[in-house]
Amino acid sequence: MNNPKRTIVPFGPQHPVLPEPIHLDLVVEDEKIIEAIPSLGFVHRGLEKLVEKRDFIEFVYVAERICGICSFIHGLTYCLAIEEIMGIQVPPRANYLRVIWSELSRLHSHLLWLGLTADAFGFEALFMHTWKLREKILDIIEETTGGRVIFGSSKIGGVRKDISAEKLSEIVTKLNRYAQEIKEITDIFINDSSVKHRLIGVGVLSKQDAYDLGAVGPSLRASGISMDTRKLGYAAYAEIEFSPITETSGDSYARCRVRIRELFQSIDIIKQAVEKIQPGELEVKVSGTPKGEFFARTEQPRGEVIYYAKADGTRFLQRLRVRTPTFANIPALIKLLPGAQLADVPVLVLTIDPCISCTER
Amino acid sequence: MNQEQKLMNIEIKDLLSQIGDYYRSGHRLVQIGCTKLPECLEINYSLDKDYSFTNFKIKLEDLDLEVPSVSKIYWGAFLYENEIHDLFGVKFKDMAVDYQGNFYRTSVKKGFNP
Protein backbone atom coordinates (compact mmCIF):
# COMPACT_ATOMS: atom_id res chain seq x y z
CA MET A 1 0.00 0.00 0.00
CA ASN A 2 1.51 3.31 -1.08
CA ASN A 3 -0.16 5.54 1.44
CA PRO A 4 -1.73 3.71 4.39
CA LYS A 5 -3.19 6.88 5.90
CA ARG A 6 -5.60 7.51 3.04
CA THR A 7 -9.20 6.37 3.36
CA ILE A 8 -12.20 6.80 1.08
CA VAL A 9 -15.30 8.06 2.88
CA PRO A 10 -18.51 7.84 0.86
CA PHE A 11 -20.73 10.92 1.15
CA GLY A 12 -24.27 10.45 -0.18
CA PRO A 13 -26.26 9.71 -2.23
CA GLN A 14 -28.44 9.49 0.89
CA HIS A 15 -27.19 11.91 3.52
CA PRO A 16 -29.06 13.93 6.19
CA VAL A 17 -27.85 17.23 4.71
CA LEU A 18 -28.80 16.33 1.14
CA PRO A 19 -32.45 16.50 0.17
CA GLU A 20 -31.51 14.98 -3.20
CA PRO A 21 -29.05 12.30 -4.30
CA ILE A 22 -25.47 13.19 -5.18
CA HIS A 23 -22.50 11.07 -4.23
CA LEU A 24 -18.95 12.08 -3.41
CA ASP A 25 -16.06 9.71 -2.81
CA LEU A 26 -13.98 11.68 -0.34
CA VAL A 27 -10.33 10.66 -0.17
CA VAL A 28 -9.19 11.68 3.33
CA GLU A 29 -6.01 11.69 5.37
CA ASP A 30 -7.16 11.68 8.99
CA GLU A 31 -9.95 14.29 8.82
CA LYS A 32 -8.54 16.27 5.90
CA ILE A 33 -10.01 15.98 2.40
CA ILE A 34 -7.37 15.19 -0.23
CA GLU A 35 -9.63 14.60 -3.21
CA ALA A 36 -13.34 14.47 -4.04
CA ILE A 37 -14.79 12.40 -6.88
CA PRO A 38 -18.44 13.15 -7.66
CA SER A 39 -21.10 10.80 -9.03
CA LEU A 40 -24.40 11.98 -10.45
CA GLY A 41 -27.16 10.38 -12.43
CA PHE A 42 -29.01 8.45 -9.72
CA VAL A 43 -32.36 9.91 -10.81
CA HIS A 44 -31.76 11.19 -14.34
CA ARG A 45 -35.20 11.83 -15.89
CA GLY A 46 -34.41 12.48 -19.55
CA LEU A 47 -36.84 15.42 -19.68
CA GLU A 48 -34.87 16.98 -22.56
CA LYS A 49 -35.80 13.96 -24.68
CA LEU A 50 -39.49 14.49 -23.92
CA VAL A 51 -39.43 17.61 -26.10
CA GLU A 52 -39.62 15.32 -29.14
CA LYS A 53 -43.05 14.11 -28.02
CA ARG A 54 -44.61 17.25 -26.53
CA ASP A 55 -45.94 20.15 -28.54
CA PHE A 56 -43.66 23.20 -28.21
CA ILE A 57 -46.50 25.21 -26.64
CA GLU A 58 -47.29 22.70 -23.93
CA PHE A 59 -43.64 21.94 -23.13
CA VAL A 60 -43.63 25.03 -20.88
CA TYR A 61 -45.38 22.83 -18.30
CA VAL A 62 -42.57 20.27 -18.47
CA ALA A 63 -39.85 22.94 -18.30
CA GLU A 64 -41.39 24.37 -15.12
CA ARG A 65 -41.32 20.93 -13.56
CA ILE A 66 -37.57 20.52 -14.01
CA CYS A 67 -37.16 22.10 -10.58
CA GLY A 68 -39.42 22.75 -7.61
CA ILE A 69 -37.49 25.81 -6.43
CA CYS A 70 -36.69 27.82 -9.54
CA SER A 71 -39.63 26.42 -11.52
CA PHE A 72 -40.83 29.79 -12.81
CA ILE A 73 -37.46 30.78 -14.26
CA HIS A 74 -37.15 27.40 -16.01
CA GLY A 75 -40.49 28.01 -17.70
CA LEU A 76 -39.57 31.60 -18.47
CA THR A 77 -36.22 30.68 -20.05
CA TYR A 78 -37.88 28.10 -22.26
CA CYS A 79 -40.42 30.73 -23.35
CA LEU A 80 -37.62 33.24 -24.09
CA ALA A 81 -35.87 30.71 -26.35
CA ILE A 82 -39.01 29.96 -28.36
CA GLU A 83 -40.08 33.63 -28.49
CA GLU A 84 -36.67 34.60 -29.88
CA ILE A 85 -36.79 31.90 -32.57
CA MET A 86 -40.34 32.93 -33.57
CA GLY A 87 -39.66 36.68 -33.35
CA ILE A 88 -42.40 37.24 -30.77
CA GLN A 89 -42.45 40.59 -28.97
CA VAL A 90 -43.85 40.12 -25.48
CA PRO A 91 -45.97 43.02 -24.13
CA PRO A 92 -44.16 45.29 -21.61
CA ARG A 93 -46.60 44.50 -18.78
CA ALA A 94 -45.92 40.77 -19.16
CA ASN A 95 -42.18 41.46 -19.03
CA TYR A 96 -42.51 43.36 -15.74
CA LEU A 97 -44.67 40.60 -14.26
CA ARG A 98 -41.99 38.10 -15.31
CA VAL A 99 -39.41 40.17 -13.42
CA ILE A 100 -41.60 40.31 -10.29
CA TRP A 101 -42.16 36.54 -10.24
CA SER A 102 -38.49 35.86 -11.01
CA GLU A 103 -37.40 37.94 -8.02
CA LEU A 104 -40.00 36.36 -5.74
CA SER A 105 -38.47 33.03 -6.83
CA ARG A 106 -35.00 34.30 -5.92
CA LEU A 107 -36.24 35.51 -2.53
CA HIS A 108 -37.77 32.21 -1.53
CA SER A 109 -34.84 30.21 -2.95
CA HIS A 110 -32.20 32.22 -1.06
CA LEU A 111 -34.24 32.01 2.15
CA LEU A 112 -34.53 28.26 1.62
CA TRP A 113 -30.75 28.08 1.18
CA LEU A 114 -30.07 30.14 4.31
CA GLY A 115 -32.32 27.83 6.32
CA LEU A 116 -30.71 24.67 4.97
CA THR A 117 -27.25 26.06 5.67
CA ALA A 118 -28.20 27.01 9.23
CA ASP A 119 -29.50 23.46 9.66
CA ALA A 120 -26.23 22.05 8.24
CA PHE A 121 -24.11 23.85 10.81
CA GLY A 122 -26.49 22.95 13.62
CA PHE A 123 -28.30 26.25 14.24
CA GLU A 124 -31.83 24.86 14.34
CA ALA A 125 -33.57 28.01 15.61
CA LEU A 126 -32.07 30.08 12.80
CA PHE A 127 -33.23 27.47 10.27
CA MET A 128 -36.81 27.68 11.57
CA HIS A 129 -36.94 31.48 11.63
CA THR A 130 -35.55 31.67 8.10
CA TRP A 131 -38.09 29.23 6.73
CA LYS A 132 -40.89 31.05 8.55
CA LEU A 133 -39.96 34.10 6.47
CA ARG A 134 -39.80 31.99 3.33
CA GLU A 135 -43.38 30.89 3.93
CA LYS A 136 -44.47 34.53 3.72
CA ILE A 137 -42.85 34.87 0.30
CA LEU A 138 -44.54 31.64 -0.80
CA ASP A 139 -47.85 33.14 0.37
CA ILE A 140 -47.33 36.11 -1.99
CA ILE A 141 -46.56 33.70 -4.82
CA GLU A 142 -49.69 31.70 -4.06
CA GLU A 143 -51.83 34.85 -3.92
CA THR A 144 -50.58 36.02 -7.32
CA THR A 145 -50.28 32.75 -9.24
CA GLY A 146 -52.36 30.19 -7.38
CA GLY A 147 -49.35 27.93 -6.89
CA ARG A 148 -46.57 27.71 -4.33
CA VAL A 149 -44.21 25.42 -6.24
CA ILE A 150 -45.35 25.50 -9.85
CA PHE A 151 -46.52 28.99 -10.80
CA GLY A 152 -47.89 28.13 -14.25
CA SER A 153 -48.00 31.84 -15.04
CA SER A 154 -45.53 32.10 -17.93
CA LYS A 155 -46.48 31.11 -21.45
CA ILE A 156 -45.05 31.59 -24.90
CA GLY A 157 -46.04 35.12 -25.89
CA GLY A 158 -46.54 36.54 -22.40
CA VAL A 159 -48.11 35.57 -19.09
CA ARG A 160 -51.35 33.86 -18.10
CA LYS A 161 -52.11 35.91 -15.00
CA ASP A 162 -52.17 39.55 -14.03
CA ILE A 163 -51.55 41.24 -10.69
CA SER A 164 -53.89 44.12 -9.89
CA ALA A 165 -52.55 47.54 -8.89
CA GLU A 166 -53.96 47.07 -5.37
CA LYS A 167 -52.22 43.71 -5.01
CA LEU A 168 -48.93 45.15 -6.30
CA SER A 169 -49.16 47.92 -3.73
CA GLU A 170 -49.94 45.36 -1.02
CA ILE A 171 -46.92 43.27 -2.07
CA VAL A 172 -44.62 46.31 -1.72
CA THR A 173 -46.03 47.05 1.74
CA LYS A 174 -45.47 43.46 2.79
CA LEU A 175 -41.96 43.33 1.35
CA ASN A 176 -41.02 46.53 3.22
CA ARG A 177 -42.11 44.81 6.43
CA TYR A 178 -40.37 41.53 5.54
CA ALA A 179 -37.16 43.40 4.67
CA GLN A 180 -36.89 44.41 8.32
CA GLU A 181 -37.49 40.82 9.45
CA ILE A 182 -34.97 39.52 6.90
CA LYS A 183 -32.42 42.01 8.21
CA GLU A 184 -32.89 40.79 11.78
CA ILE A 185 -32.35 37.17 10.70
CA THR A 186 -29.50 37.81 8.29
CA ASP A 187 -27.66 39.96 10.85
CA ILE A 188 -27.22 36.71 12.77
CA PHE A 189 -25.72 34.99 9.72
CA ILE A 190 -23.33 37.92 9.26
CA ASN A 191 -22.39 38.66 12.88
CA ASP A 192 -22.86 35.54 15.01
CA SER A 193 -19.49 34.15 16.08
CA SER A 194 -20.56 30.49 15.77
CA VAL A 195 -21.80 31.06 12.20
CA LYS A 196 -18.63 32.94 11.26
CA HIS A 197 -16.54 30.16 12.80
CA ARG A 198 -18.15 27.63 10.42
CA LEU A 199 -18.00 29.80 7.28
CA ILE A 200 -15.05 32.21 7.28
CA GLY A 201 -12.02 30.87 5.43
CA VAL A 202 -13.78 27.59 4.66
CA GLY A 203 -13.85 26.39 1.05
CA VAL A 204 -12.03 29.27 -0.61
CA LEU A 205 -12.55 29.51 -4.38
CA SER A 206 -10.12 31.95 -5.96
CA LYS A 207 -11.26 34.45 -8.58
CA GLN A 208 -9.21 32.72 -11.28
CA ASP A 209 -10.46 29.24 -10.37
CA ALA A 210 -14.08 30.40 -10.24
CA TYR A 211 -13.78 31.82 -13.75
CA ASP A 212 -11.72 29.01 -15.28
CA LEU A 213 -13.98 26.32 -13.84
CA GLY A 214 -17.08 27.97 -15.28
CA ALA A 215 -18.74 28.67 -11.93
CA VAL A 216 -21.93 30.73 -12.06
CA GLY A 217 -24.24 32.73 -9.81
CA PRO A 218 -23.42 33.54 -6.18
CA SER A 219 -20.56 30.99 -6.26
CA LEU A 220 -18.88 33.09 -8.99
CA ARG A 221 -19.78 36.52 -7.62
CA ALA A 222 -18.51 35.61 -4.12
CA SER A 223 -15.07 35.20 -5.70
CA GLY A 224 -15.12 38.75 -6.99
CA ILE A 225 -16.42 38.36 -10.54
CA SER A 226 -19.19 40.74 -11.47
CA MET A 227 -21.32 38.61 -13.76
CA ASP A 228 -25.09 38.41 -13.55
CA THR A 229 -27.08 37.23 -16.55
CA ARG A 230 -29.90 39.63 -15.67
CA LYS A 231 -27.63 42.35 -17.07
CA LEU A 232 -28.43 40.93 -20.54
CA GLY A 233 -31.71 42.76 -20.10
CA TYR A 234 -34.16 39.92 -20.74
CA ALA A 235 -37.81 40.43 -19.70
CA ALA A 236 -37.82 43.97 -18.25
CA TYR A 237 -34.40 43.86 -16.57
CA ALA A 238 -33.06 46.39 -19.06
CA GLU A 239 -35.39 48.95 -17.42
CA ILE A 240 -34.28 48.10 -13.88
CA GLU A 241 -31.30 49.70 -12.16
CA PHE A 242 -29.09 47.24 -10.33
CA SER A 243 -25.50 46.04 -10.19
CA PRO A 244 -24.27 42.49 -9.69
CA ILE A 245 -23.48 41.85 -6.02
CA THR A 246 -19.95 40.67 -5.42
CA GLU A 247 -17.69 39.74 -2.53
CA THR A 248 -13.98 39.11 -2.78
CA SER A 249 -12.91 36.50 -0.23
CA GLY A 250 -14.38 33.53 -2.16
CA ASP A 251 -15.09 31.52 0.99
CA SER A 252 -18.34 30.07 2.35
CA TYR A 253 -18.99 33.28 4.27
CA ALA A 254 -18.70 35.33 1.04
CA ARG A 255 -21.15 33.03 -0.75
CA CYS A 256 -23.54 33.47 2.19
CA ARG A 257 -23.15 37.26 2.15
CA VAL A 258 -23.80 37.48 -1.59
CA ARG A 259 -27.10 35.64 -1.19
CA ILE A 260 -28.09 37.78 1.79
CA ARG A 261 -27.40 41.00 -0.12
CA GLU A 262 -29.30 39.62 -3.10
CA LEU A 263 -32.38 39.24 -0.90
CA PHE A 264 -32.50 43.00 -0.42
CA GLN A 265 -31.62 43.56 -4.06
CA SER A 266 -34.56 41.39 -5.15
CA ILE A 267 -36.92 43.41 -2.96
CA ASP A 268 -35.56 46.59 -4.53
CA ILE A 269 -35.99 45.19 -8.06
CA ILE A 270 -39.61 44.23 -7.30
CA LYS A 271 -40.27 47.75 -6.01
CA GLN A 272 -38.78 49.26 -9.17
CA ALA A 273 -40.87 46.94 -11.32
CA VAL A 274 -44.04 47.88 -9.43
CA GLU A 275 -43.25 51.57 -9.93
CA LYS A 276 -42.63 51.20 -13.64
CA ILE A 277 -45.26 48.68 -14.69
CA GLN A 278 -48.00 50.15 -16.87
CA PRO A 279 -51.47 48.84 -17.75
CA GLY A 280 -51.46 46.82 -20.94
CA GLU A 281 -51.80 43.49 -22.69
CA LEU A 282 -50.58 40.33 -21.01
CA GLU A 283 -49.81 38.29 -24.09
CA VAL A 284 -49.64 38.26 -27.85
CA LYS A 285 -51.20 35.64 -30.06
CA VAL A 286 -48.78 32.95 -31.13
CA SER A 287 -49.23 31.51 -34.58
CA GLY A 288 -47.05 29.25 -36.68
CA THR A 289 -44.27 26.97 -35.57
CA PRO A 290 -40.67 27.70 -34.62
CA LYS A 291 -37.78 27.22 -37.04
CA GLY A 292 -34.23 28.03 -36.04
CA GLU A 293 -32.06 27.81 -32.96
CA PHE A 294 -31.27 29.98 -29.97
CA PHE A 295 -29.49 29.87 -26.62
CA ALA A 296 -31.64 31.64 -24.01
CA ARG A 297 -29.76 32.68 -20.86
CA THR A 298 -31.28 33.83 -17.60
CA GLU A 299 -30.18 34.19 -13.99
CA GLN A 300 -31.68 31.67 -11.63
CA PRO A 301 -31.08 31.95 -7.87
CA ARG A 302 -28.20 29.48 -8.30
CA GLY A 303 -26.78 31.22 -11.36
CA GLU A 304 -26.92 31.28 -15.12
CA VAL A 305 -29.18 28.72 -16.81
CA ILE A 306 -28.97 27.97 -20.54
CA TYR A 307 -31.83 26.74 -22.70
CA TYR A 308 -30.74 25.74 -26.19
CA ALA A 309 -33.70 25.16 -28.49
CA LYS A 310 -33.41 23.90 -32.06
CA ALA A 311 -36.55 23.72 -34.16
CA ASP A 312 -37.23 22.55 -37.70
CA GLY A 313 -40.61 24.15 -38.31
CA THR A 314 -42.75 21.36 -36.86
CA ARG A 315 -44.68 21.42 -33.58
CA PHE A 316 -41.97 19.31 -31.95
CA LEU A 317 -38.51 20.67 -31.23
CA GLN A 318 -35.51 18.79 -32.60
CA ARG A 319 -33.55 19.43 -29.44
CA LEU A 320 -33.87 21.15 -26.11
CA ARG A 321 -30.72 21.31 -24.06
CA VAL A 322 -30.79 22.65 -20.50
CA ARG A 323 -27.51 23.54 -18.79
CA THR A 324 -28.38 24.12 -15.17
CA PRO A 325 -26.33 26.25 -12.76
CA THR A 326 -25.64 23.35 -10.40
CA PHE A 327 -24.07 21.37 -13.25
CA ALA A 328 -21.77 24.33 -13.97
CA ASN A 329 -20.83 24.66 -10.29
CA ILE A 330 -19.80 21.03 -9.72
CA PRO A 331 -16.19 21.51 -11.00
CA ALA A 332 -15.85 24.40 -8.53
CA LEU A 333 -17.17 22.18 -5.72
CA ILE A 334 -14.60 19.50 -6.57
CA LYS A 335 -11.83 22.12 -6.45
CA LEU A 336 -12.84 23.73 -3.17
CA LEU A 337 -13.18 20.51 -1.15
CA PRO A 338 -9.49 19.44 -1.01
CA GLY A 339 -7.86 20.83 2.12
CA ALA A 340 -11.13 21.14 4.02
CA GLN A 341 -12.03 19.13 7.10
CA LEU A 342 -14.46 16.22 6.80
CA ALA A 343 -16.87 17.96 9.20
CA ASP A 344 -17.08 20.94 6.82
CA VAL A 345 -18.18 18.89 3.80
CA PRO A 346 -21.96 19.24 4.40
CA VAL A 347 -21.64 23.03 4.65
CA LEU A 348 -19.31 23.21 1.65
CA VAL A 349 -21.62 21.14 -0.53
CA LEU A 350 -24.47 23.41 0.46
CA THR A 351 -22.57 26.62 -0.27
CA ILE A 352 -22.87 26.04 -4.03
CA ASP A 353 -26.63 25.61 -3.37
CA PRO A 354 -26.86 22.32 -5.27
CA CYS A 355 -30.12 21.49 -6.98
CA ILE A 356 -29.95 17.89 -8.12
CA SER A 357 -33.48 17.98 -9.43
CA CYS A 358 -32.33 20.58 -11.98
CA THR A 359 -29.14 18.68 -12.73
CA GLU A 360 -30.98 15.38 -13.24
CA ARG A 361 -33.36 17.05 -15.71
CA MET B 1 -33.71 39.36 -25.76
CA ASN B 2 -30.75 41.60 -26.16
CA GLN B 3 -28.13 38.91 -26.66
CA GLU B 4 -25.30 38.90 -29.13
CA GLN B 5 -24.75 35.30 -30.22
CA LYS B 6 -22.30 33.94 -32.75
CA LEU B 7 -22.71 30.48 -34.26
CA MET B 8 -19.74 29.06 -36.19
CA ASN B 9 -19.26 25.68 -37.84
CA ILE B 10 -15.74 24.30 -37.56
CA GLU B 11 -13.96 21.05 -38.41
CA ILE B 12 -13.11 18.56 -35.67
CA LYS B 13 -9.39 18.95 -36.48
CA ASP B 14 -9.61 22.67 -35.64
CA LEU B 15 -11.50 22.22 -32.36
CA LEU B 16 -8.63 22.32 -29.87
CA SER B 17 -6.89 25.25 -31.54
CA GLN B 18 -10.10 27.31 -31.70
CA ILE B 19 -11.11 26.56 -28.10
CA GLY B 20 -7.52 27.21 -27.00
CA ASP B 21 -7.53 30.61 -28.70
CA TYR B 22 -10.73 31.57 -26.90
CA TYR B 23 -9.37 30.34 -23.57
CA ARG B 24 -6.27 32.50 -24.01
CA SER B 25 -8.41 35.51 -24.88
CA GLY B 26 -10.22 35.19 -21.54
CA HIS B 27 -13.43 33.39 -22.46
CA ARG B 28 -15.11 31.03 -20.03
CA LEU B 29 -16.66 27.72 -21.05
CA VAL B 30 -20.43 28.01 -20.66
CA GLN B 31 -21.56 24.60 -21.83
CA ILE B 32 -21.05 21.74 -24.26
CA GLY B 33 -24.15 20.17 -25.77
CA CYS B 34 -25.07 17.61 -28.39
CA THR B 35 -27.95 17.40 -30.87
CA LYS B 36 -29.00 14.39 -32.89
CA LEU B 37 -29.71 15.39 -36.46
CA PRO B 38 -31.01 12.99 -39.15
CA GLU B 39 -27.59 12.60 -40.77
CA CYS B 40 -25.15 13.19 -37.92
CA LEU B 41 -24.56 14.38 -34.37
CA GLU B 42 -23.85 18.06 -33.82
CA ILE B 43 -21.77 19.06 -30.80
CA ASN B 44 -21.78 22.70 -29.75
CA TYR B 45 -19.30 24.48 -27.51
CA SER B 46 -20.47 27.75 -25.93
CA LEU B 47 -18.05 30.36 -24.66
CA ASP B 48 -18.62 33.76 -23.13
CA LYS B 49 -16.70 36.89 -22.35
CA ASP B 50 -18.35 40.05 -21.04
CA TYR B 51 -21.79 38.68 -22.02
CA SER B 52 -20.65 38.14 -25.62
CA PHE B 53 -21.69 34.61 -26.52
CA THR B 54 -19.86 32.45 -29.09
CA ASN B 55 -20.73 28.92 -30.17
CA PHE B 56 -18.63 26.49 -32.16
CA LYS B 57 -20.31 23.55 -33.80
CA ILE B 58 -18.74 20.36 -35.04
CA LYS B 59 -20.52 17.63 -36.94
CA LEU B 60 -19.86 13.99 -36.13
CA GLU B 61 -20.99 11.55 -38.80
CA ASP B 62 -19.16 8.47 -37.55
CA LEU B 63 -19.61 7.43 -33.91
CA ASP B 64 -16.39 5.42 -34.08
CA LEU B 65 -14.44 8.65 -34.47
CA GLU B 66 -13.00 10.10 -31.27
CA VAL B 67 -13.56 13.76 -30.51
CA PRO B 68 -10.59 15.42 -28.78
CA SER B 69 -11.46 16.38 -25.22
CA VAL B 70 -11.22 20.06 -24.36
CA SER B 71 -10.81 19.21 -20.66
CA LYS B 72 -7.07 19.87 -20.99
CA ILE B 73 -7.99 23.48 -21.74
CA TYR B 74 -11.11 23.83 -19.58
CA TRP B 75 -10.82 21.21 -16.82
CA GLY B 76 -14.53 21.35 -15.96
CA ALA B 77 -15.40 20.23 -19.50
CA PHE B 78 -15.06 16.59 -18.43
CA LEU B 79 -18.57 16.73 -16.94
CA TYR B 80 -20.15 17.80 -20.23
CA GLU B 81 -18.11 15.26 -22.18
CA ASN B 82 -19.05 12.38 -19.88
CA GLU B 83 -22.68 13.46 -20.16
CA ILE B 84 -22.55 13.44 -23.98
CA HIS B 85 -20.76 10.09 -23.92
CA ASP B 86 -23.44 8.50 -21.74
CA LEU B 87 -26.48 10.01 -23.48
CA PHE B 88 -25.31 10.00 -27.13
CA GLY B 89 -22.47 7.46 -27.25
CA VAL B 90 -19.83 9.95 -28.43
CA LYS B 91 -16.24 8.93 -27.67
CA PHE B 92 -13.92 11.62 -26.32
CA LYS B 93 -10.16 11.28 -26.36
CA ASP B 94 -8.09 12.13 -23.25
CA MET B 95 -10.82 13.31 -20.88
CA ALA B 96 -9.49 14.73 -17.58
CA VAL B 97 -11.85 12.37 -15.71
CA ASP B 98 -13.40 9.46 -17.59
CA TYR B 99 -16.37 7.79 -15.87
CA GLN B 100 -16.29 4.95 -18.43
CA GLY B 101 -20.01 5.23 -19.10
CA ASN B 102 -21.06 5.37 -15.44
CA PHE B 103 -21.69 9.11 -15.12
CA TYR B 104 -25.44 8.71 -15.60
CA ARG B 105 -27.00 5.56 -14.21
CA THR B 106 -29.78 5.41 -16.78
CA SER B 107 -31.59 2.16 -17.48
CA VAL B 108 -31.31 2.84 -21.23
CA LYS B 109 -27.76 3.36 -22.49
CA LYS B 110 -27.26 6.13 -25.10
CA GLY B 111 -30.91 7.04 -24.56
CA PHE B 112 -30.64 10.23 -26.64
CA ASN B 113 -29.13 8.39 -29.63
CA PRO B 114 -30.70 4.93 -29.62
Q: Is residue B97 very low, low, confident or very high in pLDDT (cuts 50, 70, 90)? A: confident
Is residue A273 in some structural domain? yes
Q: Say if residue B114's pLDDT is above 90.
A: no
Give percent above pLDDT 70 in chain A.
99
Angle, CA A300 vertex, CA A200 and CA A332 arms, to 5°: 45
**Ordered structural domains, chain B, with CATH:** 5-63+72-93 (3.30.460.80)
Question: Does A162 lie at the interface with B, CB-CB under 8 angstroms?
Answer: no
Q: What is the mean pLDDT of residues B99-109?
A: 82
Which among B28, B29, B53 has CB closest to A295?
B53
- Stated pTM of the model: 0.92
CATH number at residue A154: 1.10.645.10
Q: How many Å lie between the alpha carbon of A40 and the closest alpha carbon of chain B?
A: 6
Give the structural domain span for A331.
6-359
Is residue A208 in some structural domain? yes
Chain B residues with beta carbon closer than 8 angstroms to that of A308: 31, 33, 44
Give residue A348's pLDDT: 87
3-state secondary structure of B51: coil
Q: Whole-angstrom Cα distance, residue A223 to residue A207?
A: 5
Question: Does A42 lie at the interface with B, CB-CB under 8 angstroms?
Answer: yes
Q: Say if residue A260's pLDDT is above 90.
A: yes
More confident residue, B111 or B16: B16
Which among B2, B28, B31 has CB closest to A323?
B31
Long-range own/partner contacts, residues A80-84 (CB < 8 A, 24 or more apart): A80/A234, A80/A235, A80/A296, A80/A298, A80/A307, A80/B1, A81/A294, A81/A295, A81/A296, A81/A307, A81/A308, A81/A309, A82/A56, A82/A156, A82/A290, A82/A309, A82/A311, A83/A156, A83/A157, A84/A294, A84/A296, A84/B1
Is residue A173 in some structural domain? yes
Residue in B closest to A225 by C-alpha:
B50
Is residue A1 in some structural domain? no
Q: What is the mean pLDDT of residues B51-75?
A: 92
Is residue A324 in some structural domain? yes
3-state secondary structure of A301: coil
Q: How many Å lie between the alpha carbon of B106 and the closest alpha carbon of chain A?
A: 7
Q: Cα–chain-centroid distance for residue B88?
A: 11
Q: Say if residue A100's pLDDT is above 60.
A: yes
Taking all residues of chain A, what is their mean pLDDT, rounded to a whole number? 91
What ipTM was estimated for this complex?
A: 0.91
Instruction: Check B106 against A41: CB less than 8 A apart.
Output: yes
Is residue A168 in some structural domain? yes
Q: What is the mean pLDDT of residues A87-104?
A: 96
Q: What is the mean pLDDT of residues A161-182?
A: 96
Give percent above pLDDT 70 in chain B.
97
Q: What is the mean pLDDT of residues A337-360?
A: 84
Contacts of A84 (CB under 8 A, 6+ apart): A294, A296, B1
Q: Say if residue A3's pLDDT is above 60.
A: no
Q: Is residue A329 very low, low, confident or very high in pLDDT (cuts 50, 70, 90)? A: very high
Domain count, chain A: 1
**Which of A232, A135, A249, A246 minimizes the C-alpha distance to A196?**
A249
Is residue A292 in some structural domain? yes
Is residue A105 within 8 A of residue A99, CB to CB? The reply is: no
